[in-house]
């Protein structure tokens, strides 16, 4: 009678391993969750009694707070652990940390970690649901999902849209999740940035490559502008911030000549005046704060769908978790 | 679905007569339309609520506040049956629920669990001065101490039968039918 939701499995590691139907099912589930955050009492009891650990081995404000709001608005009990001030700095391994948490009977782990593949590694070893909140240069699936939701809110169905990811694609897990998600939903995807910051053979993923930001602006319906990680300066990837802005920066002067209105996304935190100019970031086509609002709804949807329980896969993880 | 046959219980005229009477009962039992709010439970309750509202507005010549509830996130069996799509819109009336006389409107009253969830959701939002329950069909089979205040018709049926209230927006007609299910699904 009821249309069923596509199950996500035990963990959310990345968008690469999800089907188009699973991604759409998350986005559709996120829609009604938006409304809960607009209520005077922003809470529903659906995850009551669930214990969730937010395990952050890398600095994060937006993502951690967003997850925490999502968890609390679904009535879960949450604990935050960041690497500084935890046993991690005393040399404990990831699996030992997680097993100790398991021993306290938790239900889910939301983890950010500097190593690519850390989320899958952990998910295969503990029975709790694992949600990847960013692992190294691999994926940041909930960011990808909130970008998709925000684009869909403003441009309608993703199919056929031209989306260009601008900036440091090489080091960006946001870029990877975006590329997988967008392509599964039928968008045309391009990347644009200094050749030093584009992965080798990126075109193999089926994306267009622009080396001039003007070309990207002429082509795109949507620009997702990545943060230039300032520590890349030391790596010699770009000559200087000023030069980066002059060549790659998305400025209102460049957008003025665009043949159509371009939707502007940025995962934050922004370097104003480097990859994006203030008048673009605060301009009429910027949906950067909508992304933040949608982030809570998307994470509520992911938590809700995963919590539905896949006892057999959790059981399997428990059996096979001996390494 | 393993439907064997449909038994016709109420046709459009029957349902319209019941709605007319229920609308009058709502006004009577709430002492008029002052502070009255109708809250339909997704999905069919929302459409029934709209019919009741139109009826009350026509008879009383006033506009009635209304809203809708999707109780999916308040279910007590989510961890058993897995997540369901949350498709219904939950719409709080613009006046809120504090000090309102809320009438929960649903199509069929069975175990009472949906009503329990709706009561929790409403009381999470505020403190109504009164909450009453209005259903088109009471089919019996309660699992909680919940009883309706206003009923269209009592239709006692077996566990392997399902009562369907048909509404024009979803089923192209108004009516009540019983479906005999072969399996234990009920």
Alpha carbon A92 to chain centroid, angstroms? 27
Q: Determine whether the interchain pair A32/B86 forms a contact, defined as Cβ–Cβ distance below 8 Å.
A: yes
CB-based burial label for A131 (10 Å; 0-12, 13-18, 19+) = buried
pLDDT digits (tens, 9 = 90+) for B98-119: 999 999 999 999 999 999 999 9
Q: Determine whether the interchain pair A1/B1 forms a contact, defined as Cβ–Cβ distance below 8 Å.
A: yes
The model carries a pTM of: 0.84
B1 vs A: CB within 8 A:
yes
Determine the Cα angle at B74 with ends A72 and A29, to 5°: 70
**Both structure tokens of B130:** 């009164």
Question: Which residues of chain B lie closer than 8 angstroms to A304, CB-CB?
Answer: 73, 83, 86
What is the model's pLDDT at position B186? 43
Query: Mean of the pLDDT values across residues B53-73?
Result: 94
Give buried/exposed letters for A145-173 (b at 16+ CB in 10 A, else e).
bbbbbbbbbebeebeebbbbbbbbbbbbb
Strand partners for A265: A224
Listed residue (A146, A138, A103, A145) closest to A121, CA to CA? A138
Please, which residues 88-107 of chain B have a Cβ atom closer than 8 Å to chain A? 88-90, 92, 96
Query: Mean of the pLDDT values across residues A235-252?
Result: 90
Listed residue (A103, A58, A51, A101) closest to A72, CA to CA? A51
Listed residue (A299, A286, A282, A254) closest to A12, CA to CA? A299
Residue to substitute from B44, B86, B113, B185, interface A, most A β-carbons within 10 A: B86
B85 vs A: CB within 8 A:
yes
How high is the mean pLDDT of chain A?
Answer: 89
Q: What is the largest CA-CA distance in chain B?
A: 48
How far CA A159 is from CA of A151, A155, A186, B78, B157, in Å, comes to 11, 10, 4, 33, 48
Percentage of residues in chain B having pLDDT higher than 70: 91
A156 vs B: CB within 8 A:
no
Name which of A35, A45, A305 is nearest B83 (Cβ-Cβ): A305
DSSP letter string over A204-215?
GGT-EEESSHHH
Helix/strand/coil (H/E/C) assignment for every residue in B36-104: EEEEEECCHHHHHHHHHHHHHHHHHCCCCEEEEECCHHHCCCHHHHCCCCCCCCCECCCCCCCCCEEEE
Question: Which residues of chain A lie closer than 8 angstroms to B82, CB-CB?
Answer: 5, 7, 308-309
Listed residue (A101, A52, A42, A54) closest to A77, CA to CA? A52
List the helix and strand counts (H, then E) for chain B.
Answer: 5, 8
Question: Which residues of chain A lie closer than 8 angstroms to B90, CB-CB?
Answer: 32, 35
Question: Which residues of chain A lie closer than 8 angstroms to B87, CB-CB?
Answer: 3, 28, 32
The answer for residues whose C-beta is within 8 angstroms of residue A297's C-beta and 6 or more apart is: A30, A31, A33, A34, A36, A37, A70, A146, A149
A2 vs B: CB within 8 A:
yes
In the predicted structure, residue A165 carries a pLDDT above the cut 70: yes
Question: Which residues of chain B lie closer than 8 angstroms to A4, CB-CB?
Answer: 84-85
Listed residue (A182, A115, A125) closest to A10, CA to CA? A125
pLDDT digits (tens, 9 = 90+) for A189-224: 999 999 999 998 888 889 999 999 999 999 999 999
Listed residue (B115, B130, B127) closest to B34, CA to CA? B130
What is the model's pLDDT at position B117? 93
In the predicted structure, residue B79 carries a pLDDT above the cut 80: no
To the nearest whole Å, the CA of B120 is away from the closest chain A CA by: 9
Top-confidence residue, B127 or A318: B127
Please, which residues 248-307 of chain A have a Cβ atom closer than 8 Å to chain B? 304-305, 307
Listed residue (B41, B48, B42, B66) closest to B10, CA to CA? B48
In the predicted structure, residue A322 carries a pLDDT above the cut 50: no
pLDDT digits (tens, 9 = 90+) for A58-80: 988 899 999 999 999 999 999 99
What is the model's pLDDT at position A92? 82
3-class DSSP state of B130: strand
Question: ipTM score here?
Answer: 0.70
Helix segments in chain A, DSSP class H: 20-36, 62-73, 94-103, 118-123, 141-155, 173-184, 213-219, 232-235, 241-248, 252-256, 278-281, 288-307, 311-320
Listed residue (B57, B48, B170, B71) closest to B119, CA to CA? B71
A308 vs B: CB within 8 A:
yes
Listed residue (A191, A178, A169) closest to A238, CA to CA? A169
Task: Please tell me which residue of chain A has the smallest CA distance to B186.
Answer: A1
Question: Which residues of chain A lie closer than 8 angstroms to B78, CB-CB?
Answer: 46, 308
Q: B80 and A307 in contact (C-beta within 8 Å)?
A: no
Q: d(Cα A110, Cα B104) in Å, to the nearest integer?
A: 38
Name which of A1, A29, A45 is nearest B86 (Cβ-Cβ): A29
pLDDT digits (tens, 9 = 90+) for A296-305: 999 999 999 9
Q: d(Cα B38, Cα B52) in Å, to the nearest integer?
A: 8
Question: Which residues of chain A lie closer than 8 angstroms to B121, CB-CB?
Answer: 44
What is the model's pLDDT at position A134? 96
pLDDT digits (tens, 9 = 90+) for A1-21: 334 566 888 999 999 999 999
To the nearest whole Å, the CA of B171 is away from the closest chain A CA by: 14
Top-confidence residue, A49 or B79: A49
To the nearest whole Å, the CA of B61 is away from the closest chain A CA by: 31
What is the model's pLDDT at position A1? 33
Q: B141 and B159 in contact (C-beta within 8 Å)?
A: yes
Looking at residue A245, the DSSP 8-state letter turns out to be H
**Both structure tokens of B184:** 């234990």
């Amino acid at each position: 009678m009821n249309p069923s939701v596509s199950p996500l499995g035990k963990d959310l590691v990345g968008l690469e391993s999800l089907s188009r139907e699973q991604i759409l099912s998350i986005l559709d589930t996120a829609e009604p969750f938006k409304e809960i955050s607009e209520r005077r009492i922003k809470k529903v009891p659906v995850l009551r009694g669930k214990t969730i650990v937010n395990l952050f081995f890398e600095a994060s404000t937006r993502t951690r707070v967003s997850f925490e709001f999502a968890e609390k608005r679904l009535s879960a009990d949450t604990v935050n652990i960041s690497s500084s001030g935890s046993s991690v700095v005393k040399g404990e391994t990831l699996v030992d940390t997680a097993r100790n948490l398991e021993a306290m009977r938790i239900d889910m782990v939301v983890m950010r970690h500097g190593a690519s593949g850390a989320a899958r590694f952990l998910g295969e070893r503990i029975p709790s649901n694992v949600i990847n909140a960013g692992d190294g240069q691999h994926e940041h699936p909930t960011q990808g999902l909130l970008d998709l939701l925000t684009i869909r809110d403003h441009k309608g169905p993703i199919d056929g849209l031209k989306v260009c990811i601008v900036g440091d694609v090489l080091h960006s897990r946001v870029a990877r999740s975006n590329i997988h998600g967008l392509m599964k939903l039928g968008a045309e995807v391009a990347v644009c940035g200094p050749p030093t910051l584009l992965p080798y053979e990126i075109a193999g993923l089926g994306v267009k490559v622009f080396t001039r930001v003007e070309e990207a602006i002429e082509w795109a319906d949507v620009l997702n502008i990545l943060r230039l990680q300032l520590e890349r300066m030391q790596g010699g990837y770009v000559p200087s911030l000023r030069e980066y802005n002059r060549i790659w920066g998305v400025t209102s002067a460049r957008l003025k000549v665009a043949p159509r209105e371009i939707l502007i996304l940025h995962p934050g935190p922004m370097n104003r005046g480097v990859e994006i100019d203030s008048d673009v970031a605060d301009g009429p086509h910027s949906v950067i704060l909508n992304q933040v609002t949608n982030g809570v709804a998307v994470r509520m949807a992911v938590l809700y769908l995963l919590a539905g329980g896949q006892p057999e896969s959790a059981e399997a993880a428990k059996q096979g978790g001996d390494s | 679905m393993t439907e064997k046959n449909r038994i016709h219980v109420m046709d459009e005229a029957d349902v319209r007569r019941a709605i007319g009477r229920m609308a009058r009962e709502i006004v009577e039992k709430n002492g008029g339309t002052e502070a009255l709010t109708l809250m339909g439970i997704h999905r069919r309750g929302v459409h029934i609520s709209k019919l009741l509202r139109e009826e009350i507005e026509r008879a009383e010549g006033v506009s009635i506040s209304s809203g809708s509830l999707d109780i999916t996130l308040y279910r007590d069996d989510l961890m058993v049956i897995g997540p369901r799509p949350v498709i219904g819109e939950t719409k709080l009336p613009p006046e809120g629920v504090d000090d309102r006389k809320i009438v929960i409107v649903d199509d069929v009253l069975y175990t009472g669990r949906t009503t329990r969830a709706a009561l929790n959701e409403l009381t999470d939002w505020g403190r109504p001065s009164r909450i009453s329950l209005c259903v088109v069909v009471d089919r019996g089979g309660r699992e909680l101490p919940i009883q309706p205040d206003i009923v269209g018709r009592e239709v006692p049926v077996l566990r392997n039968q399902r009562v369907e209230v048909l509404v024009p927006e979803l089923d192209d007609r108004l009516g009540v039918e019983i479906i005999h299910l072969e399996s234990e699904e009920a």
